[in-house]
Amino acid sequence: MDLGGNGPYRIGRKIRTLLEEGKRMIAWKQGEVDCFGVLIKLDIPEDAHVVMIGDSNGRTDKAWCDEITSLDGTEHFERCESIRDPDFIYEVGEMAYSNGFRFGPGNGPGIHFFMDKEKAMRY
């Protein structure tokens, strides 16, 4: 996983621990289905580019969509749209790719995510 090399990019402790232990990097974000908020579970692959914006949120160039559920977890969906770009679609079992991702500190183009499920739900 490319975390920005030696540049000015912060790697959160949780991500560093995941990488050291060889575990999957699971992240969360919100999307929309028919104007209702849903929760997207993402699996960020080992070869993804990742920039951390803080200790618990970041952005990446690609992410596997594991699951899409209602915020209360009672309903499952096969696809949803981004809350920022209705043309950007997440589909369960498919890789989502960011258009225009580039390294750089802070917010910028990419698939934005939270490492903490509850933070993603509150967003």
Does some domain include residue 24?
Answer: yes
| pLDDT of 110 higher than 80 | yes
Q: Output 16 or 77, whichever has higher pLDDT.
A: 77
Q: Strand 50-52 vs strand 25-33: parallel, antiparallel, or unpaired?
A: unpaired
Domain count within the chain: 1
Does some domain include residue 5?
Answer: no
Share of residues in the chain with pLDDT > 70 (%): 80
Does some domain include residue 3?
Answer: no
* Per-residue pLDDT, 9: 39
Buried b (16+ CB within 10 A) or exposed e, 93-116: eeebebeebebeeeeeebbbbbbe
* Per-residue pLDDT, 16: 54
Does some domain include residue 77?
Answer: yes
Average pLDDT of every residue of the chain: 83
Does some domain include residue 113?
Answer: yes
Domain extent for 17: 13-122
Does some domain include residue 91?
Answer: yes
